[in-house]
Structures are given as structure tokens and as C-alpha cells.
A and B are shown apart, each in its own frame.
Chain A
């Protein structure tokens, strides 16, 4: 049997990256900027989105949401009450129940997204602090939510995720009086792992810090696209 060695020398995630670039090109065509929002399960992604999209914090900016979950439309149903475009993407529906969104899954959802009618697409990834960090989906910016109940060592335990994000929203700060957590140490640990990350202290429950999150989203929405 004749065997041939084929030199590839490319990133092992190359197949995903190619599709992510195609997504990016479609987003660019409709001038939509995309944020990939990640966190562990229960950190408060959906509540954060409810809070920032429910008021007038975003002003004239037209936002839509792509909601990623293994199954169910619980989060999408909550966000649909805000009368914004929401598309549910279930990884349990034809994608093997994956624990993260990848570029191909997002591509499959593109036809059901009203890209011509929005300026900003917020993609709520599946709650998971590992796999989502590996898969680009064609986004312009990556942000994560870390809640204060998760402890101060999270950045050191999950550096892949904390290094993948340019913004870390530290959520549930309304709980700080009830916890032994040193929030300054949590912020310092983010800085150790990813010195360039920006940290925002937020309570999605009370609305504290939401305006700064809205300002960051508006800043992303105003960015000039660069190649994926």
C-alpha cells in the first residue's frame, strides 16, 4: 500500500475558521456588528441582555439576539417579550447537543436572522466556560460574564476563556454584601491572565453598571469591520 505524507501546517480549527469568515462577510454586507457573549451556566447572560435591551440604554441602536441553548426556548421566550428580533438556535436539534456554538451552527441560523433590520447582533452562547472559547463564529467582539458567586480563581482556572474575551462583565455585584468574595482580587486575577481585558462591575438585577455595558456595545456597533 502506497502512503503519502501531506503537509497541512494549518490550525486544527481551520474548517470552523473558514465558515466563520463566511459568516463575517455576510454580517459585513448588512453592516451588522456581532458580539459573542459567553459564560458558565447561570452567570446571568440572559438577565444581562434583558436589562440592557429592555430599557433605552442602547438608544437608537437596533439590536437582535441569537440565543444558543442545548435545548428549549426558555431564554428566547424571555427576550421575545422585549419586542426585539430573537432567533433560537438549539444545538440539540441536528447538532448533536453540542456544548457550544460553532460557525456552522450560526451559519444555519443566518436565514432566520433579520440582518437588514439590525445594527448589532448579540449571540448568547451556550453556558460553558471552555468550548465556546475555541470556536469563532464570525463575531467582531467577544465578551464574557463572570458572576461574583463563582469565586476569585475563575480566571486562573479557565484562562482560555478569559484570554479570549476583550470584555469581562462581573455580574451579580448586588450580592457582594452577602459574600466573602474580594471583588478587587477577582478583577486583579482577570488582569493577571488577560492584562488587556476590560472589566465592568454590573448588577443585571438592579441595573447598576448597565450603562457602561451599553456604552461598550455601542462602541462595538460603531467599529469599522476588519477581516475575520
Chain B
């Protein structure tokens, strides 16, 4: 339900790195613990990207499952529910699943874009 806000945040970060070039694709890594619904993110991305250098850019993603590791007994497990209290009483850290990263973007080369316009 927070995919609209996140789409806007992605747009801000992508535009910062695009440096004025037209963006045709965005590749992301999304951790399961971020509670993001990819279909919803793609839907809102299409809307927020309109009338920007990201208009029409494809938003692609790789999902990462949540994993926790106990700091006390070092047991590691895949997270189904967001439980970070280990059976031993220790506190677990997320070792995977909290990612929400823009790995790379594909941009149209500026000089080529100028030539194409001619």
C-alpha cells in the first residue's frame, strides 16, 4: 500500500543519476521484508514517470527472500513471519530481505539522442 510513495522516491533517485538523459529501464533489487507488492510498484511507476525523463521506462526487479541470523547462537533461518526473536532468547538481525536498491539504469546516450533528432 506504500508503493506510490516508493515509486516517487525511486523516480527522485533515478533522475539524480540519469543526469538529464532519457531512461529506458530501471533494474531493482527488492527484499521481501520491505512489504512491497511488485505489480503495484510497476503500476505506480508508470504513473509517476509520466512527463519525466523516465516516461516509458521499464521497471524490472529481482526479489530477495528475508533471512535472519541470531546474534547469540548464530542460527540462521528464512523469514516467513517477521519474527526476529530467536528461540534461544537472542536478537536476530536481517541478513537479507531489507534491500530496496536501484542496481542500474539504462539511458539513451545524449549525443546519439541529439543526432537522432536531426
A and B, one complex?
Answer: yes
Checking B2, B17, B91, B116 against A130 with a beta-carbon cut-off of 8 angstroms, the contacting residue is B2
**B33 and A4 form a contact (CB under 8 A):** no
Residues of B close to A191: CB separation below 8 A? 85
In this complex, how many residues of chain B approach chain A with their Cβ under 8 Å: the count is 39
Residues of A close to B44: CB separation below 8 A? none
Interchain CA distance A196-B14 in the complex, whole Å? 34
Interchain CA distance A206-B96 in the complex, whole Å? 43
- Is B109's CB within 8 Å of the partner chain A? yes
Where the two chains meet, the residues of A that have a C-beta atom closer than 8 Å to any C-beta of B are 1-16, 98-100, 102, 130-131, 134-135, 156, 159-160, 163, 191-196
Question: In the complex, which residue of chain A has the Cβ closest to the Cβ of B17?
Answer: A8
- Is B108's CB within 8 Å of the partner chain A? yes
Residues of A close to B24: CB separation below 8 A? 3
Report A163 CB to chain B, min CB distance, Å. Answer: 7
Question: In the complex, which residue of chain A has the Cβ closest to the Cβ of B16?
Answer: A15
Report B101 CB to chain A, min CB distance, Å. Answer: 6
Contacts A10-B102, A193-B82 given; does A15 touch B12 at CB 8 Å: yes
Interchain CA distance A163-B84 in the complex, whole Å? 10
B interface majority secondary structure: mixed
Report B8 CB to chain A, min CB distance, Å. Answer: 8
A interface majority secondary structure: mixed
**B108 and A2 form a contact (CB under 8 A):** yes
Contacts A4-B106, A159-B82, A191-B85 given; does A10 touch B13 at CB 8 Å: yes
Contacts A3-B109, A12-B101, A134-B2 given; does A193 touch B83 at CB 8 Å: yes
Residues of B close to A15: CB separation below 8 A? 9, 12-13, 15-16
Checking A7, A12, A135, A163 against B10 with a beta-carbon cut-off of 8 angstroms, the contacting residue is A12
Checking B16, B85, B112 against A2 with a beta-carbon cut-off of 8 angstroms, the contacting residue is B112
A-B contact pairs, 10 of them (CB 8 A): A4-B106, A6-B17, A8-B14, A11-B100, A12-B6, A12-B13, A13-B13, A131-B2, A159-B82, A163-B82
